[in-house]
Chain A
């Protein structure tokens, strides 16, 4: 941009020799080249076909445009909806569930199984792995992250466990799901020590009878708990209840002080006649056992809940609800809302290209017209337009675009307009300087001397002379416009933030970029490839259109 900001010559002077090339002010100046008798178009094609990169870029852009047009037809998934709801039945069977509802019933102390009448308390052992919740008829476990844990289901004094594996098991062993306590005898007399037989039921159905064995399994299960380190600080409001008497980690809690007493060493002694109840806990599991003291009590036992009977005690889930890595099902993986990134990138092409093309063409139209006027007429109009464009150029492009959005409000139409606004001065400048040099050519002077009207001279004689610059710049600016468009939508100025738009996709994915790479990589790559292709094409066009470049 060497020559154009020098003082503008107002007079229509004939051929100032070194300036005679039709307007490429970003190229070196040199001797003017006069058209050869052969077709300039063929010459261009010949020159252009020698630019390998530009040719590749050209085909890349062609493919991108075709993809953009066909996008709605060729996307494998609906880009705005969670893919889980779009899988076919076979795929779903193949992948597995990310949620399971497990029905349950109550087991009473007399052995009967009844419909539950109250919703149990349900707590996941590690909510980073599984989220669980109880409702009237079932326990719902929803996968959160890969891992394995247990889900504690409790009703009053009874707690049972379910084993839940999400995607990958770390533990490879069944866990203890319930305690079963039987009385050594049918009934006891006051003063007697009560003997209990304790068994542990594993999640695969096996029953453990050795208390040491049970304690060992319980100990191992600690690794299934969520790590919540509490040294040096706590969250307020958490209370930890301590058990009373421990044997092998087992605690007994007396629920009926009058009938029974529990000694320091854990022995249970019958005190008086009646029906006693003891809660037996181990680890987090617990159950209750009714202890009749005296045969009188045997007759009117009201059964209580001692355990749950689940449809299944082990469940295998998959964590498919978000951030699926790239696979044959989803080439680019899925994003934080489990939408197919490949489909989103494809569909996003449309909007991106629309922003690029429409805004640049709009800006180029306006900029070219103003540039021609400024360059041709010179004088006051010229300085006015040039100063105005200088003012606009003084702002960084993005800032200017943000300012425009701030006035117009977010939305794709406004983005297009914003990008167009800062494209105008660039075209104005370039076209103006080309126009100024073309204006001094003899053929223009000749046209003027025979009285051709100004607008005819501008559009018929000067415009074609500036065309090559315009075309080169057009391609180059599309790349920039795409970037600015992406920046604006990255900043959340693109209107609908949920739209499949590359910039918006990057913005949504940035918070997780440390953990997962694909939601940022692919939209980013799409932007890079598209912009690079337009820039390479522009480079190639420039070289091909440059009359000085022979070979």
Chain B
């Protein structure tokens, strides 16, 4: 009796095991479904088939997008993450914008021009634009917006982004001049960044009257979509703005629902079942299997995200340039790309990525353990040393950290990998809480070299004043960056940036790893979605095919 029972038990366990290992991912979407979405479809039997004309989503005119996180704020002045930017872009517009080739194009402004020494930027604004609340867009609004973000008392996350602005001068109702405190030929790039989105004056006044008024949750812009609701932990919904100023670029869908789905495999499954139309930041391992799906298109393209290992230059062990070079030579970037990002990446041959304006490739530190060991010996570090490597706790970062830890061990550096939630990690880096090594990722939102280099390598950007968490101090680099910013001549600027990159790459304050490709996927029934090279998504032109 007993024996038989045991046998059954074992059998049951084994079946369960097989079942569980086979089903975990497949079951997920069922658990995560928040409602009747898929139940109402006519063909319950064929999950993945879906007919061509209707797809799986019945609410015909709603696009559903799965984002990797919830936005932090709907106020462009008060958020620094790409997810928030993707949502905000549907509702807010700036004076300028980056078009799909990352060229600067006028948006709410009709035209713009610099003065001779690049200290002023004059805008002629478009007329007849109204905000979602009906108020009018004019020069006063522009001034109010910039004054608002620059006011220290408002404590906005992006204040420092705009601190090149000295004054905003209203010339007449539709003409405005931005005065910079120093010559700055990158002003237009900064103002084309989605962070410079214009808010309604009435909203700003509400905020000024009542400090408790929450601008993070009240989005009133001029964009093709307007804010409907934000349910915590669930979604943000925006709907078509029927009074959009640009008749040629009216929204082509009724609404967009941005859901936040943290688990990457869940996002992928939702896409497979047709629960969502578009998935951003796809795990590269999943991209392969998605490519075979009939109703899913997978895209990849160059991005501006550079991965690196930062090192704290205040530590004695990293003082010798030979050590830093050795570390660069010790990491096999080609294998890292093959192994960790499944081929969706390129070796970083500069501190900034190829699509960034001002990029110039340098000679890559080739994988060479022998050479690295010699360099370590030259630096008197034959016995290696111990190091702590901080990483974010997402799968991709952890995999990179594990990989480089193994490789650094080959040249005698004993690496202890510690994973933290990203917010915690940033805090630790910004406060220099015992920074040693860390895995970093940087993408200059402005798409040009200044924002790619300055925050990471300028002497005045050391913690707590931004991202130079490794305390890299080089006055030549500072000088070059300042000169480049002040120089209105394009060729000379490029030359200065090239020189800065050369110095940085040569001095190696980072272990330069790779530039990842942006990988995204969407259902075949939608089109018109663009991934910008800064990683944010432009959904303003989204439409349904076959409808």
Contacts and interface: CB of A to CB of B under 8 A. Distances in A.
Interface in A64-111: 80-82, 85, 98-99
Given A228-B299, A238-B301, A513 B21 contact: yes
Contact of B522 (A85, A145, A233): A233
Contacts of A136: 363
Contact of B334 (A133, A234, A497): A133
B72 interface: no
Contacts of B302: 237
A236 interface: yes
Interface string A291-320: 000000000000000000000000000010
Given A136-B363, A142-B335, A513-B21, A337 B406 contact: yes
Interface string A121-144: 000100111110101100010111
Contacts of B21: 513, 517, 520-521, 524
How big is chain A's contact interface, by range? 35 or more
B386 interface: no
A131 B101 contact: no
B272 to A, nearest CB: 10
A550 interface: no
Contacts of A524: 17, 21
A524 B22 CA distance: 13
Given A337-B406, A532-B13, A511 B337 contact: no
A174 interface: no
B297 A232 contact: yes
A53 B343 contact: no
B339 interface: yes
A137 to B, nearest CB: 10
Contact of A237 (B24, B100, B335, B402): B100
B366 A135 contact: yes
A80 to B, nearest CB: 7
Given A233-B529, A235-B299, A237-B302, A492 B393 contact: yes
B398 A232 contact: no
Interface in B250-265: 264-265
A229 interface: yes
B417 interface: yes
Contacts of A127: 343-344
B3 A133 contact: no
B399 A336 contact: yes
Interface in B433-490: none
Nearest to B16: A528
Nearest to B288: A128
Interface string B400-416: 01110110011000001
Contact of B406 (A82, A319, A492, A532): A82
Contacts of B410: 85
Contacts of B526: 232-233
Contacts of A235: 299-301, 518, 520, 530-531
Interface in B342-358: 342-347, 355
A112 interface: no
B518 to A, nearest CB: 7
B417 A498 contact: yes
Nearest to B25: A514
B286 interface: yes
A511 B100 CA distance: 32
Contacts of B6: 53, 536
Given A144-B338, A513-B21, A233 B528 contact: yes
A237 B101 contact: yes
A51 B1 CA distance: 12
A236 B301 contact: yes
Contacts of A227: 291
A52 interface: yes
B286 A514 contact: yes
A524 B19 CA distance: 13
Considering residues B21, B265, B339, B344, which has the most beta carbons from chain A within 10 angstroms of its beta carbon? B339
B24 A513 contact: yes
B395 interface: yes
Contacts of B342: 128, 144-145
Nearest to B531: A235
Given A227-B291, A337-B406, A524-B21, A234 B285 contact: no
B251 to A, nearest CB: 16
B289 interface: yes
Given A52-B3, A127-B343, A528-B17, A234 B405 contact: no
Contact of B399 (A229, A237, A337, A528): A337
B170 interface: no
B524 interface: yes
B283 interface: yes
A237 B301 contact: yes
A80 B406 contact: yes
Considering residues A85, A124, A232, which has the most beta carbons from chain B within 10 angstroms of its beta carbon? A232
A508 interface: yes
A337 B409 contact: no
A520 B20 CA distance: 11
B148 to A, nearest CB: 30
A536 B9 CA distance: 11
B286 A525 contact: no
B73 interface: no
A171 B518 CA distance: 29
Contact of B398 (A99, A131, A239, A508): A508
Interface in B287-303: 288-289, 291, 297-302
A182 interface: no
Contacts of B334: 99, 131, 133, 140, 142
A536 B7 CA distance: 12
A30 B229 CA distance: 65
B381 interface: no
B277 to A, nearest CB: 10
A186 B300 CA distance: 47
Interface string B285-323: 110110100000111111000000000000000000000
B364 interface: yes
A233 B289 CA distance: 19
A5 interface: no
Contacts of A98: 335, 338
Interface in B375-402: 393, 395, 398-399, 401-402
A216 interface: no
15 contacts: A51-B2, A82-B406, A128-B343, A131-B345, A133-B364, A136-B363, A143-B338, A144-B338, A232-B527, A232-B545, A233-B522, A236-B531, A237-B533, A510-B265, A511-B395
Interface of B: 2-3, 6, 10, 13, 17, 21, 24-25, 100-102, 264-265, 283, 285-286, 288-289, 291, 297-302, 334-335, 337-340, 342-347, 355, 363-364, 366, 393, 395, 398-399, 401-403, 405-406, 409-410, 416-419, 518, 520, 522, 524, 526-533, 538, 545
Given A128-B288, A524-B21, 7 more contacts: A51-B2, A133-B364, A229-B297, A239-B101, A511-B264, A511-B286, A532-B13
Interface of A: 51-53, 80-82, 85, 98-99, 124, 127-131, 133, 135-136, 140, 142-145, 227-239, 319, 321-322, 336-338, 492, 496-498, 508, 510-515, 517, 520-521, 524-525, 528, 532, 536
